[in-house]
Amino acid sequence: MAGAVPAAIAQTAQPDTSLKAGEWVWYPERSLYGPVAVVVSLSDQLAFVYRNGVRIGTTTISSGRKGFETPTGVFTILRKEKMHHSKKYNNAPMPDSEFFFGGAALHAGGLPGYPSSHGCVHLPSPFAAALFAVTHNGTPVIVTNERSGVGSLSHAGLVMSQSDLKQIERLTGHVAGKTLPVDRKGKGQGSFSLLVSGADRQVYGLKDGVILLQSPISIAQPNRPLGSHVYILQGFDAGRKEFDWLAVGMGSGNESDVKQQKELAATTRLTIPPDAYAQIAQNLHPGSAFMLTDLPAHPETRTGTDFVIMRDRKGA
């Protein structure tokens, strides 16, 4: 199985609603390669793992209890530690930790069937190990109060105006030969994400969670909200000359509920300057996350490299 996960841990398929505390399902063979996204539903106390747009795992979780609530929003994995010990909580072990905001991480932990952590997302130990093996720094982690829809989109640009074919050709030329980022120590080409803030009328490009580029943009019908949108680049289809994206319908209440035309319509309202295109073209790769939000990218959402890509104001 992909990610060197022992076959013995794969469980029998069953509906998500039938999972009891501590139970999980993991089917990496459904999609062996491609970018991974983790979607956490706090109301259901469930997490869903998608690879290349196909769900490969579902698990029960335990999120932050009252007073220590898990932050909601769209994040990326900033660092991974196979065995982390909490300095804040008496050196408590946190196996297979994947930090996405401050001290909040996905990791193996207790699963009593209700929120019980200090803000982390607890996973069953085998599931945490399996997930650790298939993610990388920059993997999107979407935490919402409701389930979020997931669907596929194909589009020639998505991050730019379709009328500018030369820029599209340039961008596709850069993306076509790239692979997923890998976990690495030290410096090197890292993961790249894009954030468009309607409030700021700015596009931000982030490499390994640090702002690499910032540019003003134009938004058609600027008084109309953009809404909250998340797209993950799966790859480039050379035959169709189109990008394949995974769209996440935020808090739709159903994991299959994605309105494709609505998702595409939000992106067509954006005009990004050519100099910003050039930097995007150099850094975009399979697994890149592209977010649209009406919220400002406020400095208070950043501490060092802990840049919150898009955070729900209710969870702040």
Calculate the CA dihedral of residues 231, 234, 238, 241 and round it to 10 degrees: -10
Are 129 and 176 part of one and the same domain?
no
CA atoms within 13 Å, Cβ hemisphere of 137: 22
Give me the count of residues in the chain: 316
Task: State the pLDDT at residue 156.
Answer: 60
Centroid of chain to Cα 207: 14
Residue 265 sits in which domain range?
150-315
Residue 68 CA to residue 117 CA, distance in Å, equals: 7
Mean pLDDT per block of 10 residues along the chain (316 residues) reads 37 60 95 92 94 93 95 88 83 89 93 95 98 91 86 68 53 66 59 89 86 91 88 80 82 71 83 83 85 77 51 48
Q: Could you report the per-residue pLDDT of 17-66, keeping only the tens digit for each?
A: 589 999 999 999 999 988 999 999 999 999 999 998 899 999 999 999 99
Are 222 and 259 part of one and the same domain?
yes
Number of domains composing the chain: 2
Enter the pTM of the model.
0.84
Are 176 and 300 part of one and the same domain?
yes
3-state secondary structure of 124: coil
Task: State the pLDDT at residue 312.
Answer: 58
3-state secondary structure of 94: strand
Calculate the CA dihedral of residues 209, 59, 147, 295 and round it to 10 degrees: -10
Task: State the pLDDT at residue 170.
Answer: 60
Q: What is the CATH number of the domain that holds 113?
A: 2.40.440.10
Task: State the pLDDT at residue 304.
Answer: 45
Task: State the pLDDT at residue 174.
Answer: 65
Domain presence at residue 32: yes
Cβ atoms of 241 and 162 within 8 Å: the answer is no
Task: State the pLDDT at residue 59.
Answer: 97
